Structure 1
Amino acid sequence: MVKNKTKIVCTIGPSTSSRRMIWHLTKAGMNVARLNLSHGTTREHAARIRWIRSVARDLKSPVGVLCDLPGPKIRVGRLNPDPVTLNQGGLVILTGRRKMGSQGILPISHPTVLRTLRKGDSVSLSDGTIRLTIQETRSSDIVCRVIRGGSLFSGKGLNLPGKNLGLRALTPKDIELLRFALQNHADFLGVSFVTTSNDIDRAKRIVKEAGSRAWVIAKIETRQAVENFDDIVKKANGIMVARGDLGVEMDIEDVPILQKKIIAKANAVGKPVITATQMLESMVTNPTPTRAEVTDIANAIIDGTDAVMLSEETAVGQYPLEAVEVMERVAAATEATLPYREFLEARRPLVKKVQDAISFSACEVAYELGASCIVAHTRTGTTAHRVSKFRSSVPIIALTYSESVMNRLSLLWGLYPHKVERLSTTREIFSAAKAEARASKIAGRGDRIVVVCGDPSTPGGTTDLLRVQSV
């Protein structure tokens, strides 16, 4: 059964780390499962991937796997007690020494960054909820004053706004975890703290060497990434607006406008974009969202995001299923009011090739004729991706024989991947299109559907046929 056009990404963590919970998340509307490789062991993540694949097969509902790499994020080490409470006005030491942390001393990863700090510099902890100012620098310790206090857990992030620390996006640990993700057939790879398109090139080389077709998702969360975004979006397979660290690295009042610009630029080149962080933050501890959170989700969809993401809400929250259900309802209500004709006209400049013209025309014909759906036969995912980027007013059923293609298409707006037998003629494609449209209950007898595909005898990625047919 077809649900929303906007896809939902759920982070799997302690609250949802079981086959039973993954089953419930998928039934509730999860399209992509995110594994944050900053936390947990590779053994735990491998088990989660097996559960995700097993549930997807049982429910006949594709679920993509996104493995999110840690990147060179500076994190607080282990604390005792956990959490510690930092009181406003108090002193706390940041140290590069390997030791257990406490209320008075916080060990950090990447101790070399301490050498870049000077008296008066600001330090943000836990996505900016805690703020320190440096009072004194020593050889391996930094003495800080707590300007804004709060509870701090082990492993939380540390940001140094305005500092170019020279840390590369793909650390040796990242490369090790990237290879683990590829060995376990991840569909998407989130590269954290991207600064230039070179970071994407490096990740793509490793993917290619492994013989994988996994998509590389550039996480935009640094000032350098914003400055170099035009080059990054050309190289990446997709974009994530990672608002947590971005809101610390940049002035927080600039984040809404940056989000809109990033989404618009990704749309302009036909790259999928995920909007992430604190979308339903209050639902970590409450069963209902705030009005502002609901508006935030709706605005991201109106702006053109392909997917919205839940982080702590499903990883450690008390109401993970309720959070997914809220996203599902808000997406459905928002999509019902979208100006699809305006969306289509805004994307007309994306028509550069014959394949784009066919895909654009499929969306235009479906809109004008009131077709029930578009059916795209795709071997590599390219045909379906082309149709998706034009933001069809009707559902797009993607027919493919490849499970890996089906999983990657799970991220794209408006696409509903269906696995079929390998189809070798256009006659078989047109027949399968009718059958799948009816089986999915999108189209009934006598309804029109628009079929778009390439000749199966030509190389994959060719889109040159469009046909309107009655079911």
Structure 2
Amino acid sequence: MSKIIGTLGPKSRAVETIEGMLKAGMTVARIDFSYGTPEYHQETMEFLKQAVRNTRTLCGVMMDTLGPELQIINKSETPIAIDVDAFVTLTPDQSKEASSKYLPINFQNLANVVKPKDTIFVGQYLFTGSESTSIWLEVNEVKGNEIVCRAKNAATLAGPLFTALASSVRIDLPTLSENDKKVIASWGKANRIDFLSLSYCRHAEDVKQARALLTSLELTKTQIFAKIENAEGLKHFDDILKEADGIILSRGNLGIDLPSEKVFLFQKAALYKCNMLGKPAVITRVVDTMTENPRPTRAEATDVANAVLDGSDAILLGAETYRGNFPIQCIGTAEIVYNQRFYFKKVLEYVGEPMGHLESIASAAVRSATKVGASMIIVFTSAGQAARHTLIAKYRPLMPVMVVVIPQISTNFMRFSFSGTFTARQCLIVRGLFPILADPQVSTSNAANELVLKMAIEHGKMAGCIKANDRVVVCQKIGDSSVVRIVDMAA
């Protein structure tokens, strides 16, 4: 029922590999602009499109911005060995080669915002936090615009790009950089992205600015997922959640800005808040060891299961699929027990009474499906009715929810436009929703609705979700009325 977001990169961009990831359960492909050129990512997109055609599988596309990320370029790509207690200088001088003595960083103002005893973490792009491949630096002194640090552990930094994080230090860079705006306006618009992952989101205003940019580019259907990565984002979490379409908890970065023992507390609180508002929540950093190993550790498997039980809609795989050796094997998760009755009651109490029209219909559909032991909920929706199926998912039914998206065709007498694919693909990030596209020629008549319902049931049977003597709960609009009904399958 949970969804998997896979980051496509050097180890996972071949058509055959993407096909394997789609078959294994990837529902959203993440394209990360922290690294690589637009041309490189466009080539990856073409591979993804081919894999989607070959597998006949829907897949959403998430574009991840760079934001105010501190980066160190290793032009020679020569591994850099740093010993414990060695002194390393962070410099804004980009002409210097990265070495065990100097690390050129892309933020000119860093020396003005750090102080002695501050901690700076440097690791591989999409780092795993391994003590042998990433380094903890303690600021020893600041000399002009350079920062002299002492290494707190021994490590070897490998690869062309390292990411730096200054713990509990505010980086005075815009959340949407000029380069971010440029690639969204060009690459993002050209590829009609389904989701924008707003990196290092710190304020609700960041989401508003991103929304205004998307609106100006006529990307009004693109959903914004605010990526919470530091203490500043946590401080303004409630306001950010109100503005965003969903939340991504970047646990790796949060684990540097916060004491480790506080990350899980925030995770539980954040997932609860997302669930009560019916907004998708995504967590990262789940099977780090699978970058090098074909199986997760028991602790990682338990962590994934607990995240699902806490209410996470989706799991985001970063380094595991981007540069890991087992991208297809990584596409997996664990769900064991879900107390739906308790969860349903908790959401009802949070919503309170009187309920809104759609909220009442959604909760009634899930209550009916639970009481009669339905094998599936089928909900009819269109491009303008996204709230109907997302509210059903909010109540976390035990059975899958088939979202029958009825596309709409419009014309200005010069050309035809087809809407509905956005709605279908954006279901692929919400727990329990499984979209199918209906025939766009279908009208809104009762006879046509019954025909589409029959086809949806047949699709459920072929997928193995509906069997003889099962019951199916259907939620649809008939005329001016919203109807919830129970359909008995023939023996």
CA distance in 2 between counterparts of 1:7 and 1:417 reads 13
Compared with structure 1, are the counterparts of its residues 216 and 425 closer, same or farther at alpha carbon in structure 2 (3 Å cutoff)?
same
What is the rounded CA distance, in whole Å, between the counterparts of 1:174 and 1:436 in structure 2?
41
CA distance in 1, matches of 2:430, 2:376: 16
Corresponding position of 1:389: 394
Following the alignment from structure 1 to structure 2, what is the Cα–Cα distance between the partners of residues 365 and 430? Answer: 20
The C-alpha deviation readout for 1:304-324, integer Å capped at 9, x for no partner, is: 000011111111111111111
Match of 1:246?
A: 254
Please list every run of 5 or more consecutive structure 2 residues that lacks an aligned counterpart in the other structure: 408-419
Q: Following the alignment from structure 2 to structure 1, what is the Cα–Cα distance between the partners of residues 4 and 399?
A: 18
| Equivalent residues of 2:168, 2:230 under 8 A apart | no
Which residue number corresponds to residue 268 of structure 2?
Answer: 260
Deviation digits for residues 192-220 of structure 1 (CA, Å, limit 9, x no counterpart):
11110000000111111222211000001
Q: Kindly provide the amino acid, as one letter, of the partner of residue 93 in structure 2.
A: R
CA RMSD across the alignment: 1.7
Equivalence for 1:75: 71
Aligned counterpart, 1:406 = 424
1:16-58, CA deviations, whole angstroms, 9 ceiling, x for partnerless residues? 1111111110001111111111111111212222332332233
C-alpha contact (below 8 Å) 1:97/1:140 kept by paired residues:
no
**2:8 aligns to what?**
12
User: How far apart are the structure 1 equivalents of 2:171 and 2:287?
Assistant: 31
Counterpart mapping for 1:57-456 below 5 A: 57-99=53-95, 100-126=97-123, 129-153=134-158, 154-179=160-185, 180-212=187-219, 213-277=221-285, 279-324=286-331, 327-328=332-333, 330-331=334-335, 334=336, 337-348=337-348, 349-350=350-351, 352-380=355-383, 381-400=386-405, 401=407, 402-422=420-440, 423=442, 424-441=444-461, 442-455=465-478
Letter in 2 for 1:435: M
Alignment partners' CA distance in 1, 2:347 and 2:44:
38
Shift of 1:339: 1.0
Q: What SS is found at the alignment partner of 2:51?
A: helix
* TM-score normalised over the length of structure 1: 0.92
2:34 pairs with 1:29:
no
Deviation at 1:166, TM superposition (A): 2.6
Contact 2:113 2:170 in 1 (8 A): no
TM-score (norm 2): 0.89
* Cα distance in 2 for residues equivalent to 1:188 and 1:305: 17
For 2:326 and 2:169, the matched residues in 1 are separated by: 37
Q: SS of 2:472's equivalent?
A: strand
Measure, in 2, the Cα distance between the counterparts of 1:83 and 1:417.
Answer: 46
CA displacement 1:265-296 (0-9 Å, x = unmatched): 1111110011112x111111111111000001
The letter of the residue matching 2:56 is K
Distance (whole Å) between structure 2 residues aligned to residue 464 and residue 233 of structure 1: 29
1:168 CA drift (Å): 2.0
Identity rate, percent:
26
In structure 2, C-alpha distance between the alignment counterparts of 1:187 and 1:445, rounded to whole Å: 37
User: Within 1, Cα distance between the matches of 2:31 and 2:171?
Assistant: 26
Judge conservation of contact 1:53–1:63 (CA < 8 Å) in 2: no
**Matches of 1:138 and 1:222 in 2, distance apart?**
27
Cα distance, 1:155 vs. partner?
2.1
Aligned residue pairs, count: 454
User: Does structure 1 residue 465 correspond to structure 2 residue 466?
Assistant: no
Confirm or deny: 8 A CA contact 2:68 2:171 kept in the other structure.
Answer: no
Matched-pair contact (CA < 8 Å) for 1:79–1:106: no
